[in-house]
Structure 1
Amino acid sequence: MILGLISQLKRWYAIPYLVLCIAISIQSICHLLGDATFSLSWLGALLAVGPLVLFMSMVYTFPYIRVVRFIATPVVMALLGSVLTVIEMEPLPTFYTLFFGLGGVLVYVFWYTYLDRSDNVLLQKGVQLPDFALATLNGEQLSSSSFVGKKVLWVFFRGNWCPMCQAQLADLAKHYDAFGERGVELVLISPQSPKKSAAQQSRLGVPMPFYVDDNNRAAISLGIVHRHGVPLGMLGYGYDTVLPTVLMTDESGTIIYADLTDNFRIRPRAETIIETLDHLLI
């Protein structure tokens, strides 16, 4: 119950918070340019809120993979803005700075990006991958057991709305041939519609196969469903999604590699997976 409430709170956080921060940044700029006297408090508010707006805007406009847990620049700028704003202590910009700036960025870095993920005994290295159902983009139903006899990289991603997933898929596409040379078949799975996955497939430019997890049935059976994981405002994707998960199985269907990230900004790079595979094959 508590985890469900936390997930719902996170669903309501990202987009509304970003819109508020954009409004505060615009208001701060207007005061800095329009007031007769220069205000350290409004400068502090802009420094505290603006960098996070820029960061989140860049993430959604130019997706890329975060390989570190903590984003230093917005945190440092929020602290600097807080120092400047308390010098004058104008009520409104001081509130903006401390609540939306410093408070907001700390919430984003240390709370929002974490997935509240528990240990999953079903998806550990050395365990047989449980059987689950999938659908091709054409609607054909199949079982995960149909891939037995092949080395498979299973990539569960949240959907086209997720910039980190976009970056992860683009990274895998760049190394598509390297996986093929090692006899590894890629299986990309998400709960989004076949139409959305087909659009993603065409953008990547390589024949990586996409599959659909209808109503998150596979994610539920594997213990990787993310209740209320789709942010408010992402239309056409429902409410629930899947926790980002990367698994590799050998020809017998045994898991030989597992990455169950607890932070949605952190995904395993394709090069790291390939190096791990090469080490296992020695």
Structure 2
Amino acid sequence: VASCVNAKGGPKGAPVPMTQDATWAADSPEEEPSQGEKPWARLVAINQNFPGCELLEDEVLVGRRQTNKVQVNHVNVSGIHCKIYRNDDVVFICDMSRNGTTVEGKRLRKETRVLEDGSEIVLVPSTKGNKKIGFHIHLTKKKRKITTGPEVKYDIRDEIGSGAFAQVKLCINRSTGEKFAIKIVDKKRFKLKNHSARPDALKSEVRILQQLDHKNIIKIEDVYEDEEKLSIVLELVEGGDLFDSIINHYEANDRGFDEQKAKHIFSQLIDATEYMHEKKVAHRDLKPENILLKDADTVKISDFG
């Protein structure tokens, strides 16, 4: 639930002066929260005539409906205007309104965005004679400040794969909420495994792949490097690999793919390989395990080494 105090710090229900025919309320528990129950965020109203709220539940609906945890009764606020929720330590806002929700100056329309500590959320922009309606969100759990590396831009999450010299983890763009995969290469292990005569072989390969732009090749989004690791942010493909798809299909149907499906997959692979060769790039390890499925009909060549 969300518990609220008014602008002067009084309890919910105390008279609060309102302007522009708007009211702001929120549900409060019948009893005080238990000693161990602490808010994970606070909403501080931009317009001081409205109360602030403490967020205890992982998901909070904001809007005009009385059933919302945070109710904002204003003609320009939708029944459910937006949803604020957290997934572990990452906080998101999803616009669900007819007019949009503005976060840090950018209007969202049915979009989701990551919220940072102090982000400004505007439900109704200011008009002549009327102040804007909205709030700042303040996260109670402060993280250490990150100044370098992929964590500045991305929130790095759970491992989704691993190899002899690299881990692959889920990561989320802190500004947009978009999901990617990040391949974290241990440079020392890579060098021992590959016995490369060129110390810069890995970086050279990444530079080449950054030039590739084909619908059937995994796209590199960002690259970061320090003394120990090379971190490559990649397009996220969640459909598994072609090898597992072939095995699962055979076990379920007692036969391989039909000719039409096999032809469609092979056509995409030939098209992508021809494109690479035109760019003077060779994969050198093209096999079903290194071909990912974006969906049932679209393949993506990955893992260039």
- TM-score tier after normalising by the smaller chain length: under 0.3
Give the number of the structure whose residues are more often helix, by fraction. Answer: 1
Q: If the length of structure 1 is used for normalisation, what is the TM-score?
A: 0.27
Q: Which structure dedicates a bigger proportion of its chain to strand?
A: 2
Bigger Rg, structure 1 or 2: 2
TM-score normalized by structure 2? 0.25
